[in-house]
Structure 1
């Protein structure tokens, strides 16, 4: 059976067997009149008066015969476009009574799946009593059918007004309902573009304006402390930058940078500052039990060969075994990991120093370890190298970009972690031009590469 489809939600489209078929303008208008009849048989002279817009056309004598002949020509063109077999099923000729006897009338019989406005109305009506997720799917499908002003070629013709107005009202209802349903489902991001279009089209509509404000408030509340977020759909990963407390990220693995001696002594803030990330790890995660943290580090470092040992003479305080930059050891917490990573070197004066090459190597080894030990959980990290590590060659923005680029590069090879979360303390956030970082991130494609997919 040849598939017929008539589209009137916008410029009229007739397709037969999946291919569009061209019609003369008057034939298109006649087709729209039959669509507007909603399955009713329309006498030939009424078709002529309404389609040719000659309301006083006589239906008797030579003039009447000529008018009916004009209609028959258009009907014949439409039948040829539909195909003989299909036309016999959907475009019916009947005889109806008039004041002087009988007259030919024409009826268009299309199923909902053959007429876009019927399918549109059916979906909108079903959505009115459907469960929220089902309603969202039905309304989205209905709105996808909408291509513009309904029955466009018959604009201003009396026969088209009622159907066009009814469809426009359904379109308005569908959009408003879809906004409401998206909000009910907790998807304000999906509701936002619809609400913005409604507000632009109806600047004086208080209800639409209130709904748009509500959506924006919900979106801001959902982001909370997030200051940057980008989903890379090609990699199925997310990069987030947020203000907050690294050790409050209890759903994520944590990254803690160490010097090459893995020092943990925070007494008097001489060897390690108690305010550093290492110091916070000791006091907040290990309850200030330095012996326990050192025991965990020794256990994790058993398979790592030191690269040197300092003498007590030259390094009287702190640990003396040195490990390679880039060393990463996972420490086990309940259901997650702390990745202790060497990203700087500690001098004999106990001050640490790092270089861009040190940080790149550290990050490369970090993602390798996260891939093996990270349990596919998000990874929360401070801005490695930006503080006491004294990585002076790079600004904070450059360090953040380096961390993000390194993570995305690793994710293009293997699924390292579903999210990179860079956590900044409020005072650190104030010292970073995050717009520079955001421009870098937004210039990347969906696969994390520069350019064409952005």
Structure 2
């Protein structure tokens, strides 16, 4: 049997074995008229009146009417069965109508749901209305994908087409509303939104649709919670900027900046401030057990070669062994990793100092460790360098751009580093961070361009003297990050 497909949810078309059939306008209108009969036989007299739009009941016209209809029926049958395998007789049947005073030839179009898009559409929607949300959403999406425009458009506003058109239009409206509800039940408000937006464009005066769209948008904003920005990177990674606390990101690996000596001592704030990220790390993730953190860091540092060791008389407090900037120690904590990365130098005067080039090099060295040890979890990082680490050449916006650029450059080489880079900005820092600059950068920078740290003015400096307010990441008695 030939694979016949008649489509009337939009401009009418006929395909046989996947090949479009060419029909004249009158034959196309005949096909639409037979579809509108919904499987019922249509007498020749009515077919001629509806297809040719002529109401000629004169006795001498009956033979001419019959000839004109039969000519178009023959054309349609040839289109339905180009290989002459007998499919035309199965699909387009000749019958006798006994309703009139005199028996009259009639034609009936018999198509299964898989052969007629409006029937398939109806079956999919009706079954979806009784299905569970996931099944309903799948069937409704498949049904709506069949719709290409106004149903039975070639029939215009003719009486013979009006009942089916109204029913299909009502079913289309039901399908869209139910698809929105199903996707909302599944928590996929992002997929429900385009459907609601299209309905609102088509029906600008429908208050119910407007209310539904407003509720969807509000739910999406609520879902984002503390998210300020979300942007996909090439390779399946998302960049997310959130407002909040680094240590509240319980589902993510964390990046914590250290000095080149990896000091952890916070006693009397003489080496590392208790308010610094390192100080918070001890309290928030290690239960105040500084020695436990210190032992884990020192165990990890055995894999690295130190740069040098300071003399006690030169650096009487804190650790004296220095490591290269960019040295990254992965620490296992509660099923995730904390990446301790050295990006500033702790002077013998216990003041942490760094520079844009130091930060960029440290970030570039960080991501390979994240890719290797991060177990493909989201990775969260604060605005490293924004506190008392003395990177005064860059403001918070430039620091944010540098983090993003460095990560993007690495992901082009290693796209499976992490499913998400999450930059966490403290609420107090938001007013000094221009997220629109990041949005512009993401919108205008080609994904494949080489990011070197000198583009978008990152590292060039703006003279900003933003030294933070004591909750950043580094420093000692004179400079607590």
TMscore range, shorter length: over 0.9
Deviation digits for residues 193-247 of structure 1, max 9, x if unmatched? 1112223333343332332222122211211111111234x52322211111111
> With structure 1 as the length reference, what TM-score do the two structures score?
0.92
Give runs of aligned pairs for residues 225-374 of structure 1, distance below 5 A.
Answer: 225-232=226-233, 235-374=235-374
Deviation digits for residues 165-188 of structure 1, max 9, x if unmatched? 111010011011111111111211
Asked whether 1:208 is paired with 2:206, we answer no
Deviation digits for residues 13-32 of structure 1, max 9, x if unmatched? 11112111121111111111
* Structure 2: gaps of 5 or more residues: 451-481
Give the corresponding residue for 2:382.
382
Counterpart Cα distance in 1 of 2:305 and 2:431? 40
Give the corresponding residue for 2:129.
128
Give the corresponding residue for 1:116.
117
Deviation digits for residues 251-310 of structure 1, max 9, x if unmatched? 221111011111223344343232221121123333333333322222221222211122
Counterpart Cα distance in 2 of 1:424 and 1:2? 63
Contact 1:45–1:59 at 8 Å: present in 2 too? no
Deviation digits for residues 88-136 of structure 1, max 9, x if unmatched? 2211112233656432211111111111111101111111111111110
Q: 1:82 aligns with which of 77, 80, 83?
A: 80
Deviation digits for residues 73-95 of structure 1, max 9, x if unmatched? 11111112222332122111122
Give the corresponding residue for 2:151.
150
Counterpart Cα distance in 2 of 1:108 and 1:64? 22
Counterpart Cα distance in 1 of 2:289 and 2:104? 101
Give the corresponding residue for 1:47.
47
Contact 1:59–1:65 at 8 Å: present in 2 too? no
Runs of 4+ in structure 1 deviating by more than 6 angstroms, as ranges, are none
Counterpart Cα distance in 1 of 2:226 and 2:100? 78
Per-residue deviation, 1:414: 5.0
Asked whether 1:174 is paired with 2:172, we answer no
Asked whether 1:58 is paired with 2:57, we answer yes
Relative to structure 1, is the Cα distance of residues 288 and 98 closer, same or farther in structure 2, using a 3 angstrom cutoff? closer
SS at match of 2:154: helix
Contact 2:9–2:147 at 8 Å: present in 1 too? yes
Relative to structure 1, is the Cα distance of residues 292 and 99 closer, same or farther in structure 2, using a 3 angstrom cutoff? closer
Deviation digits for residues 361-405 of structure 1, max 9, x if unmatched? 222322222222222222111112222222334332232222223
Contact 2:397–2:432 at 8 Å: present in 1 too? no
SS at match of 1:273: coil
Counterpart Cα distance in 1 of 2:100 and 2:188? 61
SS at match of 1:113: coil
More relative contact order in 1 or in 2 (CA 8 Å, sep 6+)?
2
Contact 2:236–2:415 at 8 Å: present in 1 too? no
SS at match of 1:306: coil
Contact 2:5–2:114 at 8 Å: present in 1 too? yes
Counterpart Cα distance in 2 of 1:359 and 1:251? 26
Give runs of aligned pairs for residues 392-431 of structure 1, distance below 5 A.
Answer: 392-412=392-412, 413-431=414-432
Deviation digits for residues 121-160 of structure 1, max 9, x if unmatched? 1111111111111110111000000011111111121111
Relative to structure 1, is the Cα distance of residues 99 and 120 closer, same or farther in structure 2, using a 3 angstrom cutoff? closer
In the alignment of these two chains, the number of paired residues is 446
Contact 1:383–1:400 at 8 Å: present in 2 too? yes
* Structure 1: gaps of 5 or more residues: none
Relative to structure 1, is the Cα distance of residues 100 and 338 closer, same or farther in structure 2, using a 3 angstrom cutoff? closer
Counterpart Cα distance in 2 of 1:80 and 1:426? 73
SS at match of 1:422: strand
Contact 1:443–1:450 at 8 Å: present in 2 too? no
Counterpart Cα distance in 2 of 1:69 and 1:425? 82
SS at match of 1:240: strand
